[in-house]
Every structure is written in C-alpha cells, then in structure tokens.
Amino acid sequence: MDLRKLILVLTLLGALVPFANTFYASYTVQRQQLMDTTLDGNYAYANKLAKSTEDFLQASQLQLAYTAQLLAMKMDDVAKLEEEAARLRMMSKSFNSITIFDATGKVLATSPETLGLQGRVLGSEAVMTALREKRPLISAPYQSATGNFIVFINHPVVSASGRYLGAVGGAIYLQKENILDRLLGQHFYVDGSYLFVVDKQKRIIYHPDPRRVGDFVQHNVVVDRVAAGQSGKGATVNSQGVRMLAGYAPVTSTGWGIVAQRPEAATLAPLTQLMQSTLYRALPATILTLILILWSARLISRPLRLLADGARKMEDPSSAKDIGSVKSWYFESRELKKALLIGIDAFHKSFTKLREDTATDPLTKLGNRRRLDETLADFESQATPFSVISIDIDHFKKVNDSHGHAAGDAALQQLAQRMREACRAYDVPLRVGGEEFLILLPSTTLATAAQVAERLRRTVEEMRIPKVGTITISLGVANWPQSSFEVQAVLKAADEMLYASKRGGRNRVSVHQREVGVSS
C-alpha cells in the first residue's frame, strides 16, 4: 500500500468511522428510548382507564342494587316506579336510559318516557338472560328494541321473602353521547394518538370516530391479546395500515379491552429531523477535509502522520490543540492543517447546535421543557427571584377541528411571536405542551409580571390569524419566593391560577397571592 492510500485509509478510519459509529449509536439508543417511553406511557394510561372503567361499572351496579331494594315494595305502583326510574337516571348521569320490568319481561316504567316501551314485553337476549339467571349482569353489546346499539346493566328486584319480582336496568347507548365518552374522551393528540375499547368478540364499543362503533377488528395482534384478557404493550398495524405503538389492558368484570396507541412515525419524527440536521451540518466539513487530504497526500511525510493522528481523534476536544502544535514547514501541510482545524470546529459547532436544538420547540422556536429545567436550575442555584406566567389558548381544540392543524400551527406560531415581543432580552418564553406556554421573568415582581401578562393578553386578543380569526388566552401568574419557597410549587401555583382564569370565564389573568391565600 502506497503512502497516499495509507493516508486515505487512516483518515477514513480516524475521522469518518468514529463519526458514523457515534451517529448510528446515538440514533439507535434514542430511537429505542422514544419507543419504550411511548409504549410505557400508553400501557400505563390503558391500565388507568381500565381501572376507572371498572370502578364506574361497580359503582353503577351499586346504584342499581340500591334502587332495586327501594323498588321491592313499589312494583305495583307505576307512578312510584316512573319516579324512581327518572330519579336514578338524572341523579347518576351514568345511563342513557333506565328500564324497570317485571318477572315476565313486561316493561313497568322507563326514563325517559319517550322510549315508548311501557307495557311491552322485552325479548332481547340481555333481558332474557336477566330473567333466566335472576342475578346482576352486564350484557354484551346488542341492538335494542328502540334501535340503539347498547350495553345493558341490570340488577334483580327481589321481595322480602326472596321472590323474584323483576329487574331494574340501565342502558349505555354506544353510538350516542355516553359515560364512556366522558371517561375516555379526554385522550386526544394532534399527532394521531387515540384509544378505543373492544368487547370479547373484538367488536369496537368505543372509538373517537363514532362510525367505527360496532365494527369488528381483524388481524390485530394487540386486539387479539386484550380480547383474551391479557394486558401489556407492543407494536401493531391498525386498520388504515399505520404502524402504532400500543398499550392495552382488560376490564376484568366485562371482558372489555382498552387500547391506547400512538403512531410510530409521530413518535420518531423529532428524532429523524434531529439526526438529519446533524448529518447535513457535519457532512460538508468532513467531505472538504477528505478532499484536501487526498490532494496533498503525495507531498506529506512526517507532519502528515501527526495530522492523521489528530484526525483519528477528531471528536476529542483536545484534538484542535494537538493539530495546531504540528510544525507544518511546507505549503501543503499548512493548508491541510487549516482544513482539519476548520473541520473540527464545524464538527463541534454542529454538535453544539444539536444540543441547542434539543432544548428548542421545532414549531414555535421557543424553549421546551429541557430549557425550562435548565433555566429553573440556574435560577435556583443563583437564588434569583423570578415570576412565572402560565399561558393556555382558550378552546384550542375547536381551532384544530374547525380549521385544520395547519391553521392551529399558525395560531401557535403567532402566539409565540407575541410572547417574544412581550419579553425582555433576558426573559425566557417556553412552549411546554400542545397549547401550553410559560414565560419565566427573572428578578421580576409579581405586580410587574401581572402587567406583562395583561399586556400580552390584550395583544393576543387583538391579533388576527388567517382562516382562524381571533383567539384568546387564559393566564396565571406566580412568583418565587413570594408564592412558594419551592420552585416546582411556584409552577404549580401559576398553573392553578391559569385554571382559575379558565373557570372564571377565560381570556383573563389570575395572580397568585400567597399572603392572603386568594388569587386575583
């Protein structure tokens, strides 16, 4: 092997291989971490909702059991039965309708009365099973006599002597607004995440898209497992062919299964963008260095060996100093030394920019939660008093639903611009969630922060957004150490004030006042 080829090989081994290996290892580790975090989060959320659903079903059965005791002495009084049915439906809000029927299946009372079932003998499988088994039951989903796709929960009515008198039951209409919507309908993200519920037959009984209710899910390993009573997490492909990261858990008493899932592409999108940005910034300097090395390889001797040694440890912060100490006594080696120093500088600048990007929200260019943690750590270590403004866009979901996510993104970007304009050079504006923002104001009193918040609120109220029109924001203000001696408690106080603004009608500022224990 001649010297020129040897120098090329050494340069490739010393510069490109460590870079590529670091690049690949970083991508692999972060990719797995993102997927594991998403799977764990979805699994925990599915378990939580399964427990909540189980608790609701048990509570509903207790409500029916108590009502059944009251009805045992009233089964001959239709007026009392209708009164009790209406009371149970309106008091609990757990059921879309209530039905009381006797031991033959004849309907004695319903709520609402518009069902028109009084006097009819019910022949549904759920009612027939209740009459046959004479015990508390939760039915499989079925089509009712009124045309509704429902789940029926019933409890027997038994006389003091133990004689079976009939049953009282509550129906949940799966294709209309129901208790499952209230329990499960809070899980929504603009990145395609959603959850759904299936029964033992893998039939959908809850879905964000009501049109899917009643469909059977086929060829989905996650649904197969949860329908079999298993809980866990894993990757799957949904009915639209999208690869999803899912967590799942069963509702034991009914055999239902809850699946929470997020698109794998949405999970990995930030990492892909980050690695592409790093590669684009690093490759030009690396390619330039290789070209210069090939051009000067014929005339390089000992100085080249020293430069090659330095190139092999390009990622080492001390490599620039080592290469700078090489005595290049001819033109070619001096130029190569310059090129290597430029490449090393560009390499380190790229990774510095990479670290900066990880603390910046890609949509609004504001700081993210990592920047929040770094800033709070600095304030706390230097004992710097500061104020916090917590910001949330009012009714932001309606913006996305009515105008599309592109319009929602434009609204977020314009709000971010107004925040930057309202801040001083040393204030720190942040985006910490979908439509949730913070501003940290060092060495700022609570009163001054409240003025900044009010000024920002008015500015946002007056701005116009293409397609969307106007938006408003609710704000909460707190101060450290005035609101609390704990930094995290100050953030919580600002968040509580934000929700006070929401409860107070939105489009307002609430300020935490620790001394008197009230907010304004």
pTM listed for this prediction: 0.49
DSSP string, 98-126: EEEEETTSBEEEEESGGG--TTPBP--HH
Query: Where exactly does CATH 3.30.70.270 map onto the chain?
Result: 369-519
Buried/exposed code over 310-329 (b: 16+ C-beta within 10 A; e: otherwise): bbbbbeeeebbeebeebebe
- Select from 3.30.450.90, 3.30.70.270, 3.60.21.10, 3.40.1160.10 the CATH code of 369-519: 3.30.70.270
The closest alpha carbon to 335, from 290, 296, 284, belongs to: 296
CA distance 162 to 29: 65
Give me the tens of pLDDT residue by residue for the chain, a chain 520 residues long.
655 667 677 777 776 777 777 878 888 888 889 899 999 989 998 899 889 888 888 888 898 999 999 898 888 888 899 898 889 888 877 888 899 999 999 999 998 877 778 888 888 888 899 999 999 998 888 877 666 778 889 999 999 889 999 999 998 887 777 777 777 765 555 677 888 889 888 988 888 887 888 889 988 999 999 999 999 999 998 888 889 999 999 988 888 899 998 898 888 888 888 878 877 787 787 777 777 766 666 555 566 666 666 666 666 666 677 777 777 766 666 777 777 777 666 666 665 666 666 778 889 889 898 989 999 999 988 989 999 999 999 999 888 888 888 889 999 999 999 999 999 988 999 998 888 999 999 999 999 999 999 999 999 999 998 888 899 999 999 998 887 778 888 999 999 999 999 999 999 999 998 643 333 4
Using only C-alpha atoms, the chain has a radius of gyration, in whole angstroms, of: 33
Q: What is the largest CA-CA distance in the chain?
A: 113
Task: Give the β-pairing of 518-519 and 436-442.
Answer: unpaired
